């Protein structure tokens, strides 16, 4: 994830006598420059609700409860806890702990925790949990458990083969082939138990790693936007919330020229447009350009100083509509998270 920064475009922030200074760039298929300019100059569309920020926070009581649950979970999680969850996944303690993890560490809860008044403390606890559930940490717990299971498997196989060999030595020559065939077809409950345990272990470890990835994904997006917020204190414009607003787009089809999303009261340098979902959709990094060529993954920003409004365009795959969004406020390259 990165924020687009292009020093050579800094001149676009300077005052200009031309309101439509960026209107000559060709648009992607299906979007004309005239249509984009018309959208840029248009008034808010009150017939459609504006786009909500990702991190719309719950009420104080709800947030306080989330914070309490996070502190409690963090206090009871360490490497030994994780190892017990892996070794005895069916125990009451392990099941209760896993249920609490699954309930608390969801995308919405993480966003809420990181956008509240105690975001720094929450970020510290979440980062600690992410480290415990990281692939490296989980592998360190799994390695000795897997080695023990492999050794148990080996001992059982050795014992079974020893018994077969002893039986063959004492059996009549004509019956040995049938003994071997019967042995090969016989179910081995102990081996099946070990195999099932290892399969379950792999599934649970992957689940914890996926949770770590989820925590990291939301933490990075929100903490990046909040870094300046934590330092600047009360320097935001009067009438706005102090915490950064993150507006995410997951695909190019969710906001088009025919039905563009609107974002109101965007604060330059504080709020962010998260386009990482579109990057994943197109399976390529996004690139900010001055002129759209029609290739997918290109970003163009247009701004009207007169209306204090911006239009964001992200070209999709050929033959599909581009993402077009109207933002009331000045969106700059540094406000895009790609």
Q: How many angstroms from the chain centroid is the CA of residue 121?
A: 20
Q: Are residues 220 and 287 in the same domain?
A: no
Q: What separation in angstroms does the CA of 194 have from each of 53, 202, 332? A: 48, 12, 57
Asked whether residue 25 carries a pLDDT value surpassing 50, the answer given is no
pLDDT at 261: 92
Asked whether residue 12 carries a pLDDT value surpassing 70, the answer given is no
For residue 247, is it within any domain?
Answer: no
Asked whether residue 325 carries a pLDDT value surpassing 90, the answer given is yes
Q: Are residues 180 and 277 in the same domain?
A: no
Q: Are residues 172 and 220 in the same domain?
A: yes
Point out the domain boundary residue: 181, 210, 226. Answer: 226
Which of 267, 258, 273, 269 shows the shortest CA–CA distance to 324? Answer: 258
User: How many structural domains does the chain have?
Assistant: 2
Model confidence, pTM:
0.47
Q: How many angstroms from the chain centroid is the CA of residue 109?
A: 13
pLDDT at 19: 39
Q: Are residues 146 and 104 in the same domain?
A: yes
pLDDT at 222: 61
Domain that holds residue 214: 57-226
pLDDT at 225: 52
Q: Residue 7: pLDDT band by 50, 70, 90 thresholds?
A: very low
- How confident is the model over 231-250, as pLDDT tens digits? 444 344 444 445 678 899 98
Burial class (CB in 10 A: 0-12, 13-18, 19+), 189: exposed
- How confident is the model over 193-211, as pLDDT tens digits? 888 888 888 888 998 999 9
For residue 316, is it within any domain?
Answer: yes
Point out the domain boundary residue: 205, 226, 247. Answer: 226
Q: Which of 50-59, 143-152, 297-306 has the lowest mean pLDDT?
A: 50-59
pLDDT at 292: 82
Q: Count of CB atoms within 10 A of residue 157's CB?
A: 13
Asked whether residue 125 carries a pLDDT value surpassing 80, the answer given is yes
pLDDT at 221: 65
pLDDT at 158: 83
Share of the chain above pLDDT 70, in %: 82
Q: Which of 80-84, 104-108, 176-180 has maximum average pLDDT?
A: 80-84
Q: Are residues 185 and 74 in the same domain?
A: yes
pLDDT at 15: 41
Q: Residue 3: pLDDT band by 50, 70, 90 thresholds?
A: low
Judged by DSSP in three states, 59 sits in: coil
Q: Which of 15-19, 119-123, 270-274 has the lowest mean pLDDT?
A: 15-19
pLDDT at 185: 77
Q: Are residues 84 and 214 in the same domain?
A: yes
Q: Are residues 123 and 148 in the same domain?
A: yes
Which of 9, 37, 25 shows the shortest CA–CA distance to 326? Answer: 37
Q: Are residues 261 and 194 in the same domain?
A: no
Contact by Cβ (8 Å): 12, 278: no
Alpha-carbon span 238 to 43, nearest angstrom: 23
Q: Count of CB atoms within 10 A of residue 243's CB?
A: 22
Q: Are residues 293 and 162 in the same domain?
A: no
Q: Are residues 135 and 197 in the same domain?
A: yes
Higher pLDDT, 162 or 29: 162
Judged by DSSP in three states, 310 sits in: strand
């Amino acid at each position: 994830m990165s924020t687009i920064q292009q020093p050579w475009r800094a001149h676009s922030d300077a005052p200009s006598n031309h309101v439509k200074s960026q209107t000559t760039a060709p648009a992607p298929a299906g979007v004309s420059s005239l249509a984009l300019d018309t959208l840029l100059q248009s008034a808010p569309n009150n017939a459609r609700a504006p786009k909500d920020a990702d991190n719309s926070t719950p009420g104080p009581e709800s947030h306080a409860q989330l914070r309490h649950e996070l502190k409690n979970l963090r206090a009871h999680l360490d490497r030994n806890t994780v190892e017990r969850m892996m070794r005895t996944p069916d125990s009451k303690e392990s099941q209760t702990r896993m249920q609490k993890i699954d309930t608390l560490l969801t995308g919405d809860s993480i966003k809420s925790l990181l956008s509240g008044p105690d975001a720094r403390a929450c970020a510290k606890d979440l980062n600690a949990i992410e480290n415990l559930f990281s692939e490296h940490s989980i592998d360190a717990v799994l390695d000795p458990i897997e080695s023990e299971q492999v050794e148990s498997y080996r001992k059982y196989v050795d014992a079974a083969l020893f018994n077969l060999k002893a039986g063959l030595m004492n059996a009549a020559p004509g019956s040995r082939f049938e003994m071997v065939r019967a042995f090969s077809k016989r179910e081995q409950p102990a081996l099946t138990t070990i195999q099932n345990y290892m399969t379950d272990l792999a599934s649970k470890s992957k689940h914890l790693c996926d949770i770590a990835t989820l925590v990291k994904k939301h933490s990075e997006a929100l903490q990046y936007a909040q870094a300046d917020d934590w330092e600047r204190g009360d320097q935001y414009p009067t009438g706005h919330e102090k915490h950064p607003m993150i507006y995410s787009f997951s695909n190019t089809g969710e906001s088009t020229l025919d039905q563009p999303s609107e974002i109101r009261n965007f604060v330059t340098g504080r709020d962010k447009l998260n386009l990482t979902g579109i990057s994943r959709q197109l399976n390529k990094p996004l690139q900010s350009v001055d002129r759209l060529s029609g290739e997918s993954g290109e970003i163009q920003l247009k701004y009207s100083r007169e209306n204090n409004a911006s239009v964001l365009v992200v070209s999709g795959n050929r033959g599909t509509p581009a993402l077009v969004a109207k933002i009331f406020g000045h969106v700059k390259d540094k406000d895009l998270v790609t």
